[in-house]
């Protein structure tokens, strides 16, 4: 599996040569900052969950010497200069991070990915926000880069793999804030139920098939770590 291969994830490196990324399109696939950065796009990492199944805060877990939070930041740095890490409203960060990264917090005390998406849109400096979870370290940059092609055509672009919809990997529009606030306040915290409120011409489901499912694996439990 690609996780067994060396990963080059230095915060100082302008090119991410992770085999899990490069194998997505071709054996030599690379994304350089100058080629990948998208104007009008912010990036946000959802990192405010309780990590109950893991038993400790997932974003500080290391894979091959790199914390999950650092891996996620490195990937977004290839696509945008405006990157946020979304934390719970009461959380105090216990880690050092690049000065260019903004720490933002949920505006609701409820813990939910939808609350995190809301916070990312609220604090964003741009109209479009690429959302990723902190616990998907092998997510290919190539997938995210290709999804950005559709940001001006739809209000939301979300990922779908053979295992189903992955709404925490998506590009959301800032003008959705009122709808999300209504959903949180009155209708519940389900991201999928919120997406069902959108018109067909507002939502694009970006489907990926015939690739290694390992790319989209979430690290949720100790057993997931043992499988790496």
Helix (H), strand (E), coil (C) string for 95-154 = CCCCCCEEEEECCCCCCCHHHHHHHHHHHCCCCEEEEEECCCCCCCHHHHHHHHHHCCCC
Q: What is the pLDDT of residue 26?
A: 29
- Give the residue ranges of the chain where pLDDT is below 70: 1-37, 48-57, 59-60, 93-95, 210-213, 220-228
Residue 194, phi then psi, degrees to nearest 5: -65, -45
Which among 138, 159, 147 has a CA at the least distance from the CA of 216? Answer: 138
5 domain-assigned: no
Is residue 78 classed as helix, strand or coil in its secondary structure?
coil
Domain span at 194:
17-226
> What per-residue confidence (pLDDT) applies to 7?
31
Query: What b/e string do you get for 141-174 counting C-beta neighbours within 10 Å, with b at 16 or more?
Result: bbbbbebbeebeebbbbbbbbeeebbbbbbbbbb
The pTM of this model reads: 0.80
6 occurs within a structural domain? no
Could you tell me the CATH number of the domain that includes residue 203?
3.90.550.10
Residue 228, pLDDT score: 56
* Residue 142: inside a domain: yes
* Residue 156: per-residue pLDDT: 98
Within 8 A by CB and 6+ apart from 155, the residues are 172, 173, 175, 176, 198, 202, 203
Our count of domains for the chain comes to 1
- pLDDT at residue 226, as a whole number: 55
- Assigned domain for 4 exists: no
């Amino acid at each position: 599996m690609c996780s067994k291969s060396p990963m080059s994830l230095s915060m100082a490196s302008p090119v991410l040569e992770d085999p899990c990324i490069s194998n997505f399109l071709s054996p030599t696939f690379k994304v350089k900052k100058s080629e990948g950065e998208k104007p009008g796009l912010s990036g946000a990492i959802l990192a405010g969950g309780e990590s109950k199944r893991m038993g400790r805060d997932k974003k500080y877990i290391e894979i091959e010497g790199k914390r999950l939070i650092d891996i996620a930041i490195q990937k977004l740095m290839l696509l945008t200069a405006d990157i946020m890490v979304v934390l719970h409203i009461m959380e105090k960060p216990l880690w050092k991070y690049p000065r260019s990264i903004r720490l933002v917090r949920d505006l609701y005390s409820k813990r939910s990915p939808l609350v995190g998406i809301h916070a990312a849109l609220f604090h964003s400096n741009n109209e479009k926000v690429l959302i990723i979870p902190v616990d998907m370290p092998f997510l290919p940059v190539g997938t995210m880069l290709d999804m950005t092609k559709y940001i001006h055509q739809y209000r939301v672009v979300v990922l779908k793999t053979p295992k189903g919809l992955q709404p925490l990997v998506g590009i959301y529009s800032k003008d959705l804030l009122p709808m999300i606030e209504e959903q949180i306040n009155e209708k519940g915290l389900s991201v999928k139920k919120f997406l069902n409120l959108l018109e067909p011409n507002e939502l694009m489901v970006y489907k990926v098939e015939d690739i290694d499912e390992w790319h989209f694996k979430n690290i949720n439990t100790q057993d997931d770590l043992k499988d790496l």
